[in-house]
Each structure stands twice: as C-alpha cells, then as structure tokens.
Structure 1
Amino acid sequence: MSTMPIPLLIAAVSHGLCAAAFLAFTALLLAGRRVRETQRAMLAGCAATGMWAGAVALRGWQPWGLDMAQVAFALEVARSAAWLVFLALLLAPAGLPVKRLLGGIAALATLQLAMGDVTMNLWAPTPANQPVLAAIVVRLLLSVLGILLVEQLYRGTPPRERWGIKFACLGLGTLFVYDFYLFSDAMLFRRVQPDIWAARGIVDALCVPLLAITAARNPGWKLGLALSRKMMMRSAALVGCALYLLAMAAGGWYLRSVGGAWGPVMQLACLVGAALLLVGVLFSGTARARVRVFISKHFYQARFDYRDEWRRFTQALSEGGPVPGERAIQAIAALAESPAGALWIARDSGVCEPAARWNMPPQHGTESVDGDFCRLLRARQWVAEAGRPLPGTSRMPAWLHEIPQLWLVVPLLLHGRLFGFVALARPRTAVALNWEVYDLLRLAGSQAASCLAHGELAERLADARQFESFNRMSTFVVHDVKNLLSQHSLLLSNAERHKHNPAFQEDMLATLAHSVQKMSGLLQRLVRSDMGHGGETATVLPLAGVVRAAVQAYATAQPHPVVEAADEALCALADGQRLERVLAHLLQNAVEATPPQGSIRVALRRQGDAALIELRDTGMGMSEAFMRDRLFRPFETTKPVGMGIGVYESREYVRELGGRLEVDSCPGAGTTFRLILPLHRATGDVAVAA
C-alpha cells in the first residue's frame, strides 16, 4: 500500500466510493418485487458501473493473479454499452428504431474493445500514438451518442411527465458529459490527464442519488414519449457535424505529421477548405431536404408529423408577407419539398386563370372549368403527376407540359367545386409519392382554397362597403334635398295668401337665403368627400346660434317653431352645418306631425355638465312599440314620401359627439326630443372639456 503512487491511491479511493454507491443502489433495485425490461437494463448499467469502478479501485493490486487494468477496461466497455441500451429502451415507445440503434451501440463497443485501453500508460511521459488516438475518438463517439440520447429522452417526454425523469436525465447526462470532457482533453493533449481520470469515480458516484430519485418517482418507467422529427433532424445534423469535424481534425493532424515543411500550410488549407464545405452543405436546401426524407423514411412509420405539418401550413397561410396566392403556393410546395409553383383560380367567366407564382416565370395558359382535365380534378380530387397517365380519356393540357420542371398538379376544392389548382416543380431530391403524400396534398389544397376564398370575399366585401358608403351618402343627400323641398313647398303655399305682407316677404327672403346657403354647403361637402378630404370640420360653436338658425328656416311654417329659452354661454365641439341639419330633421318631423293650431317649442339650457336642446310639439305622438322597434331603424317611415333616415342620422351624429338623443311621446299628446351634448368652453383657440 505504501509503494502505490499517490495519484493511483486517489483514483482508488474515488472509484471505490463509486463502486460502493452503485452496488448499493443495485442491491436496492434487486429488492423490488418485480423487475421490468427497462429496469433490467438499468440494473445492468448500475451493476456494470459498480464492478468497473471496483476494478479501477483494485488496479494497483493483482488479486488472484488477474490483470485488473484489462478487467477494468472490459467492464468500462460494458458500462457504457449498458447505459446506452437503457436509454435506447426508454426511447423505444417514441418510434426510435431500437434494433438499428442497438446494432450501432454493439459496433462501437466492439470497436472500442479492438482499439484497446487508452489508460494503460496513464503516467507514461511518451505521447499517445495513432492507435491510441483512434481509441480516444471511439470513446468520444460513445459519449456524444449518450448525450444525444439523454437530450432526446428529455425533449421527447411531454412536459407534464418530465417530473418523473428529469433527475435521471441530469445524472446520466453528467456521466456522459464528464466522459466527453475527459476524452476530448485526452484528444487535445494526446494523453489522458491523471487528475481528471481520478475524479471520474466521484463524479459518477454523484449521479446515484439522482437515479435513485427517479427510480422512486417513476418505478415503472412509463413515459408518454413523442420523438420530435425536428429534434431528430437536429440531432442527425449534430452527429453528422461531429463526425465530420473529427474526420477533418484527424486529416489535418495527418497532413501536419507527414507533410514535412509543407505540413502546417497543408493543414491550414485543409481545415479552411473543409469548413467552407461544411458551411455550404448546411446552407444547402437540397441537403436538408435529403436528410428530412431519409429520417422520415427510415425512422418513422408515418411519413409526416401531421401536428407539426399542419401547424406550419396554417402559419404559412396566415402570416404576413407575400400575396395570399404566393403564400398558398409556398405552403403546399413545402409539403412535397418542391422549390417552385404557380396558382390558377377559377373566375366567374368559367376559366381557370393564372393568379400567382413562386420561383416560376409568368404563366399565360388558361383552362376551362368545364373541360375534361378540370372535371377530373373536381370529381376525383385527382393529384395529376407529369408523365403519369390520367384515368379514362382525360389528358393534361398541352400548355401545362410547357412549364419548366412540371411535376404535380394539386386541385383546390371548396364546397364540392373546383376553386383552382397549383402546379408544382420537381423537388430538390427524389420524393416517393404514395397514398400518404396524395392525401396530405388534397387536404392542404382544400385548406388553401378556403383561405384564398376568404381573402377574395374580403376584397369583394371591401368593394361592397365602398358602394354602400356611396349609396348611404346619396340617401342622406336626397333626404336633405327633400327637407329643403318641403320648406319651399310650405313657402309657396303661404305665398298665395301673404305675398303682399312685407313681414312675410322678409321671412321668405331669409328662408331662401338660408336654403341657398345649405345647398352650397352640401355641394361643397360632396366635392370635398369626392376629392378625399374630410367633409366635416368640428369647431367650438355657440349652440344658441345653431338653434336660432334651424328655427329661422321654419319661420313660414304652420305652426312655426318658437325658441323659448337659449343660454348664450353654452358651447359644443361639433360641425355647425351638420348639427343644424340634425335639428332641421327633428323640426321638419314636428311640423309635419303637428296641426296648424298646435305649437312647437325649442329650449336650450344647461343640465349638469351637458347642454340640453329640447324640442316639444303637440302633434299626434308615437306609440311605445313604434319608438322601441321602428323609430331609430334606417329606412323605416310612416310618411308616404319619407326616407326613414332622419332620426337615425340624427341619433348617430349625436353619438359621434359623445352625447345622446332621448325621446318621450304618447299618442295624441305630442312628442319631446332631447339632445344632450357634452359642453365645451373656448380658451383662446383651444377647445377644452367643461
């Protein structure tokens, strides 16, 4: 014991602790009632690790004449292989090809045995030779494989079930990461560092409590794994890059060692060229497409991850960027690895016309919706392939064959009719077409047709709203003209009796002047609206002046309105002409509903923080049902020549000003309208809320 080197003694103690921890944990697992297949693999890993650590601890002795260094090396190979098999069995429910993975693990373990132990001359001052370097590379590959399997296990487990395996992933990840650190350092310095190697036992022993927690939380090791294709793609890319970098480093080292004076130059040129080649491959769409096809073909039963594909497809259709037609082409083309495409949409003329393109030259060919080809696409949802005969007598149109690299024609069906079709170019890599691809393309075509139809309907709705706005403006103009015509009719009817009355003549001239002013304002508003300018200008205006102007326009009416009270201090932020028009609508209705011997009274006063304009008449009144169901509905009227929009327009504009329009009425007892407007006061040139 006294002749044992100090580093070897430290390594013996460290690995002795590891052996005690793992063997004790193995005994606890064996004490369980039932041992499942996954638990057997875990038992094998724990037992192999414990025996390996014990053999390393006894490396300074030769009990029973055994070479403990060789025994420790064989047990280390068994330890690494057992943990990799344990991880592979955990990943089996996720669809991982366990047989191929086990074959790869066995091949690496056999290769490691053939390469020999890299720690035989641990304290030898001579640098490692080429076979030892190759043995280090094999151990690095085993460590990288273990790290990838741990990462797949954690990411593939649903978040709600990670509670049961996170400590096992942490423990096994620590085990493989430390091995990676140990042997990457050995590869860099061409020898295994004794201190790092000696601490390996304690580091592995620290993993035992983590494995014990997981075994207690999840004794059955039942995991709802879902192996992600995206993560499988990334893992494959990571493994490929790691192998490439190792090969690149080995090639550079070889050139440096045999190249003499040219060795350093050749090494640097080789490293830069290889790095450029790797970057070019990573940026190649063809290379990525081939990797995706290879993984889907060899690692999964179903070719597509439908949840992920549908999420990506829906996101591509809904996100901003290119025109909707181009987004639809890109979304469908991505399902078949196609780099280009064009879209045709069936128009009202009964012809499918080019609507969009992506990475394709402009297309000019058209096809009748009633033709044989379109009927085939509609009736059988047929995905036509270039060079493949179509059923029956149907043929692909000749102009479609003129499209460069034409591959597939995917129909876009909506509610049983052909909305259009998409022509796709040949993919970057060979893609085998089967029922799964055809079904996915049909379904994607229907979804794309729905989104494109929604976009076209939105455009048509926008056009219809513009026409509706124009028609609504025309209706209001006609209504204003009708009110002015009614005033002039009353004026003419009274002129026969009062044309020699100077007072009447003065009122008549004032009414005509007011009508001309209103007509001029209406014409200016229409011109400004047509030129794209705002038709209304809100200003702080005295309400008393607006009320008097509106009442003055009906001075010749019978009965004529009378202003009872008008508070001169009340102001509101509004367009004067439109507010006057609102009062004119209400006054016109009051004049028409009130007999000549009746009365119409208008009052303006303050009500709290608002201005109240009250119009009371003694006319025929309205029923409660009429006020509730018909009064404020547009185009509802009881007049023979009415438009039915006066009260509706009045209420809407009062609401725009932040006020409200109230009405009280009773059949035979008259009607009272109340306009309640928010008050404003003028401070300099700025309108301030009261």
Structure 2
Amino acid sequence: MTLVTGRVAMAIMGMILVEQFYRNTPAKQRWGIKYACLGIGGVFAYDFYMYSDAMLFRQVNSEIWAARGIVNALIVPLIAVSAARSPQWSLGISLSRRILFHSAALFGAALYLLAMAATGYYLRFFGGSWGTVLQAAFLFGAVILLMGVLFSGTLRSWLKVFISKHFFIYNYDYREEWLRFTRTLSEVGHGLGERTIQAVAELVESPGGALWINRESGSCELVVHWNMPLAKGDEPANSSFCQFLENKQWVIDLQEYDSSPEKYGVIAMPQWLRSIPKVWLVVPLIQQRKLFGFVVLAQPRSKIRLNWEVSDLLKIAGKQAASYLAQQEADKALMVARQFESFNRMSTFVVHDLKNLVSQLSLMLSNAEKHKNNPEFQKDMIETVDLSIQKMKRLLQKLSSGASIEKPAPLFIDQLLQQAVAAKSAVEPKPVLEILEPGQMVMANWARLERIIGHLIQNAMEAIPRDGQVRVCLTKDNDAAIVEIKDTGHGMSEAFIRERLFKPFESTKSAGMGVGVFESREYVHELGGKLEVTSEPSIGTTFRMTLPLCNQNHAVEKAA
C-alpha cells in the first residue's frame, strides 16, 4: 500500500506542476503548449483515478490497468500538435528519404503478402478437393506479381514522388541528388552525352531524352539520344527558340506552353521538336552565359509539377553538365590540335632538311663551272649527290610511314663525323675534321645525329668568308664524347644567343626556317647530352656538343 500511496502523491504533484506551468506561461504562448498540458495532465489524472481506486479496494483493478496503455496512446497526438507548434522542442532528428522509401516499400509488400496469404487460405478452405492446388497456384502468381511490381520503375518513381510531396518540405535531398548526379557524369562506360541525359533525366524521373550541342556550324545539332526515338532536326543558334534559352535560361515545359503560350512570349517551337513523341521538358545547358546546348526530356513515369524548386535544380544541373561537355569538347579539340602540331612539326623538319639539301646542291653547282675538270671535285660531287639521294629516300620513307623510324642504336661517333664532313666537302671552303679520341661509341640514331651535325657544319660554312675555316673536333671528357664545331665567321652576340638562337621559327637567313638549331638542341637533350654555344662577334662561333658514351657491353645488349 505504501507504493500505491506514493503513486497517488506523484499523480497529484504532476497535476499541480502541469497546472502551474500552464498558468505561468504568457497568454500569447499558451496556444503552443495547451495540447501538451492537456495530454500530460490527463495522464496524471488517470493515474490518480487508478491508484485512488487501488487504495480504496486494496488492489489494482486489472481492467483499469489494461486501459492505461490506450489512454497513453491517445495523448500522443496532443503532444505531437504542441511539438509542431513549438519549433524549440525539435530534437533535430532527420529521416532519410532512402530509409523511408525502403520502409514504405517493405511495409507495402508485407501488407500485400498478408492479404494474399489470407486469400490463399480462403481458397484452400472453400476450394474443396482443388483447394490445395488453387492455393499453391494463387500464392505463386501473387509472389510473381509482387516481384514485377517491386521492380517496376513507374511504381518506384510514383513512391518517391509521393514520399517527397507528403513527408518532406522540399522535394529533393540535395546532398544525395548532387552526389548521384556527379557520380553519373563521372562514370566510365557509355559516352558522356548519354550519361548527361541520364543524370538530368533522373532528377525528374524521366525515362529518356536527347542532347543537342551548339556547333561551330552555327546550329544546335543532335549528338546522342537515350531511350528516346531519334529526332531529326538541327536548330539554328540565332533562332528565337535558342535565343530564348540563352537569354532567359528557362526550363521550357511544353505542356505549359501548349496551355499558356503567352508565358513564353513570341518564341516559336521548332517543328522537329513537335514530332518527338511524349516530349516534356527542354533544359538549357549554359556555359559562361552562352547556350552550349540543350537536353530534351520525355514525360516522367509519375506526374511531377514543374515548380520553382524543380526548375532551379534543372538549371543548375544543366550548367554543371555543360561544364563536363565543354571540357570533353575542349579535350577533343586539343587532341586534334596536337595531331596537327605533330604533323606540322615533322613537316617543318622535313622541309628544313630538304632546304639544306637544296642549298648544298646549289653550292656544288655554283662551284661546278670552276672545278668541273678536277677529278677530286668530280668524286666529291658524286658522293654528295649520292648522300643527298639517300637522305631524300629516308625522308620519303618517314613521310610515307606516318611515324618516326629514327630509333637510337649504338654507333661510332668518329665514323659518323667522317661521313658528315665528307658530305660537305664538295663545297669551298671544306671543313676540317680532327679526331683526337677515336673509337668512342654513343647511343643515337645515325641519320638524325648526322643530320643535326651536318646542319651545324652547314651553318658554320655559310657564316664564314671564302678564306674562313670550319673545324670539327672529336675529344673525350670522362664518360662523354665532345664534338666541337668551330668557325671563323662573323659570330653572334650574347643577346642573340640568349633570346633568338634556340627559338623555333626565328632565323637571320632570308630563306631560313629557324628550326635547325632548335632541333639540334632538342635531340641532344633527348640523348641525355647538352649543346652549348660560345661566340664573339667578328671572331667566330663554337658549338660544343656533349654526348654520353655507350660501352661495348651495353651496346651489345641494346643491339640484342
């Protein structure tokens, strides 16, 4: 009885506290707590009645005790109303849309299975001798139907829209939607165009769409379509339709346009757009305030009203998708530019080599009248013509193959220098070769290294007067071969060497291309060496080429 007496005292104290709380609350704020006070006070009042009855009859009435749970359940809506009226009572609990979606789907499946089980039991009970057969067939069909419904995209779409509309303030969980949107755009597999349509379409439960991109031709051209019949039609970028998308950046609802065309001004819908079945929305893709393209979406699986929230989300998604597509277009353009650059660079070097051969043959012909009866000159002329023909054949082979065949291999640098100097010996003044360290081996392509050394010798010969001198010297410094090409020409200033000598397409010659010295330095660097220049005006110039040596064992391994 002591416990019952304490419970009665607690019920009285609770009713007093609720009454004092309500009385001391300002009148303007009582509307927010009155239902909570009514519910909580009712609980204490019921407890007072139940325990008072127990004190009177010296035992708790089982029926009154059983009704206590129902009474407590009845006050829950009253407390919920007060909680909704008083935002400061919020506990900050957020319910995930995904959890609610799966819970609703599971709850609906459970109710469906219970109903089907009851129906199956009824068939078995009243089906007579066929009852068991009918029950098994019915339950199997019911399970198959449930699986079909659960995997239905239309049903899932309807359930998502229903939950977002009736259980949440906003239609979207923006964090989840944006993560899914960027994940779809970044996936590998099918093309970015299809992924863009899919990412935008999933925001509004659309099953398909098509993508148009503004091309350099001045028209928005169809690029790709996804789950939508192919629509034939390009839209000029200066049409009222495209100008409206660019200037207003609105999402066009074609159903709204049909019912209220005055909202869209004087815009004229393209005829090809009307020919697409079940077309619904046109989403502009804006890049730097310019119309990059647009996405046309099919009607959604479940009815969605295009309000300000949906429209704003689609516009932001369109801008994000436009940045991805613009990056892809830029990458493609850069790839094409690099291919042309590679081709142009190879063509430049080939033309430069042909120019050197023409210059060499021209100098030889200029000396032919004077030395045509000299047997040594005739011999040198034949060798020069033969070497020129071989070089032109290699150039033609390179152009026809479309790729470089100049692969490095071990070679003796002294032999290469002998051939390079011999090729220039048909012209006066002849270069002089000094081999102080013979037998040195380097790793390089013979034709290309001979070409750049020959070019440096040719430049030196063109820079000297008739009584000048060009010397080619081969020495050794530790593990490197040193090739020096010295001339007694007019020389170069330090400013010219620093600012112009190694810059491509810069030349002091009237017919020069300015790529020979640039190619020489690039290839020497590619071999792991370096090319240095020292020069004094009116005294001469020295090109010093340092190439790493290749020992015999290493050369054998490379050759193998």
Same fold per superposition (TM over 0.5): yes
* In 2, Cα distance between equivalents of 1:330 and 1:590: 65
Deviation at 1:284, TM superposition (A): 1.1
* In 1, Cα distance between equivalents of 2:521 and 2:72: 85
The verdict on how the C-alpha distance between 1:221 and 1:599 changes in structure 2, with shifts beyond 3 A counting, is farther
- Assess if the C-alpha contact under 8 Å between 1:573 and 1:687 holds in 2: no
* In 1, Cα distance between equivalents of 2:225 and 2:384: 64
Structure 1 partner of 2:148: 280
Structure 2 partner of 1:637: 507
Q: What is the 5 A alignment of 1:239-250?
A: 239-245=107-113, 247=115
Encode CA deviations 1:383-442: one digit per residue, 9 max, x unaligned: 222234333333323332221111112223333333332221111111111111122222
Structure 2 partner of 1:302: 170
The verdict on how the C-alpha distance between 1:502 and 1:380 changes in structure 2, with shifts beyond 3 A counting, is same
3-state DSSP of counterpart to 2:410: strand
- Assess if the C-alpha contact under 8 Å between 1:546 and 1:580 holds in 2: yes
Structure 2 partner of 1:486: 359
Q: What is the 5 A alignment of 1:499-648?
A: 499-529=372-402, 533-565=403-435, 567-648=437-518
* In 2, Cα distance between equivalents of 1:416 and 1:615: 59
The verdict on how the C-alpha distance between 1:362 and 1:65 changes in structure 2, with shifts beyond 3 A counting, is same
- Assess if the C-alpha contact under 8 Å between 1:256 and 1:264 holds in 2: yes
Whichever residue aligns with residue 460 of structure 1, its letter is: A
3-state DSSP of counterpart to 1:410: strand
Q: What is the 5 A alignment of 1:206-355?
A: 227-245=95-113, 247=115, 265-355=133-223
1:672 aligns with 2:545: no
The verdict on how the C-alpha distance between 1:568 and 1:287 changes in structure 2, with shifts beyond 3 A counting, is farther
Deviation at 1:289, TM superposition (A): 0.8
Structure 1 partner of 2:247: 379
Whichever residue aligns with residue 485 of structure 1, its letter is: V
Whichever residue aligns with residue 625 of structure 1, its letter is: A
CA RMSD of aligned residues (A): 3.9
- Assess if the C-alpha contact under 8 Å between 1:540 and 1:687 holds in 2: no
- Assess if the C-alpha contact under 8 Å between 2:83 and 2:89 holds in 1: no
Whichever residue aligns with residue 665 of structure 1, its letter is: S
Deviation at 1:274, TM superposition (A): 3.1
* In 2, Cα distance between equivalents of 1:561 and 1:223: 94
Structure 2 partner of 1:166: none
Moved more, 593-602 or 470-479: 593-602
Q: What TM-score comes out, normalization by structure 2 length? A: 0.78
Encode CA deviations 1:191-211: one digit per residue, 9 max, x unaligned: xxxxxxxxxxxxxxxxxxxxx
Count residues in correspondence. 505
Encode CA deviations 1:81-124: one digit per residue, 9 max, x unaligned: 99x99xx99xx9xxxx9869xxxxxxxxxxxxxxxxxxxxxxxx
* In 1, Cα distance between equivalents of 2:341 and 2:555: 37
Q: What is the 5 A alignment of 1:37-116?
A: 64-66=58-60, 71=65
- Assess if the C-alpha contact under 8 Å between 1:593 and 1:620 holds in 2: yes
Q: What is the 5 A alignment of 1:646-657?
A: 646-657=516-527
Deviation at 1:580, TM superposition (A): 0.8
* In 1, Cα distance between equivalents of 2:476 and 2:70: 96
Deviation at 1:634, TM superposition (A): 0.7
Deviation at 1:584, TM superposition (A): 1.2
The verdict on how the C-alpha distance between 1:221 and 1:661 changes in structure 2, with shifts beyond 3 A counting, is farther
- Assess if the C-alpha contact under 8 Å between 1:621 and 1:668 holds in 2: yes
* In 2, Cα distance between equivalents of 1:648 and 1:77: 94
3-state DSSP of counterpart to 2:501: coil
* In 2, Cα distance between equivalents of 1:522 and 1:241: 76
State, as a whole percentage, how many aligned pairs show the same letter.
53
* In 2, Cα distance between equivalents of 1:269 and 1:229: 36
Structure 1 partner of 2:237: 369
The verdict on how the C-alpha distance between 1:683 and 1:284 changes in structure 2, with shifts beyond 3 A counting, is same
* In 2, Cα distance between equivalents of 1:606 and 1:233: 80
- Assess if the C-alpha contact under 8 Å between 1:681 and 1:688 holds in 2: no
- Assess if the C-alpha contact under 8 Å between 2:414 and 2:435 holds in 1: no
* In 2, Cα distance between equivalents of 1:494 and 1:370: 66
Moved more, 241-250 or 452-461: 241-250
1:408 aligns with 2:271: no
Deviation at 1:267, TM superposition (A): 4.7
3-state DSSP of counterpart to 1:65: coil
Deviation at 1:570, TM superposition (A): 2.7
Structure 2 partner of 1:389: 260
3-state DSSP of counterpart to 2:146: helix
Whichever residue aligns with residue 469 of structure 1, its letter is: S
3-state DSSP of counterpart to 1:674: strand
3-state DSSP of counterpart to 2:190: coil
3-state DSSP of counterpart to 1:680: coil
Deviation at 1:222, TM superposition (A): 10
* In 2, Cα distance between equivalents of 1:585 and 1:413: 53
* In 1, Cα distance between equivalents of 2:72 and 2:453: 95
Deviation at 1:509, TM superposition (A): 1.9
* In 2, Cα distance between equivalents of 1:603 and 1:473: 30
3-state DSSP of counterpart to 1:66: coil
* In 2, Cα distance between equivalents of 1:643 and 1:548: 27
Whichever residue aligns with residue 172 of structure 2, its letter is: F
The verdict on how the C-alpha distance between 1:246 and 1:316 changes in structure 2, with shifts beyond 3 A counting, is same
Q: What TM-score comes out, normalization by structure 1 length? A: 0.64
1:359 aligns with 2:227: yes
* In 2, Cα distance between equivalents of 1:318 and 1:643: 45
The verdict on how the C-alpha distance between 1:472 and 1:419 changes in structure 2, with shifts beyond 3 A counting, is same
Structure 1: runs of 5+ lacking an equivalent: 1-40, 42-47, 49-62, 101-219
The verdict on how the C-alpha distance between 1:262 and 1:518 changes in structure 2, with shifts beyond 3 A counting, is same
* In 2, Cα distance between equivalents of 1:580 and 1:405: 70
3-state DSSP of counterpart to 1:363: coil
Structure 2 partner of 1:463: 336
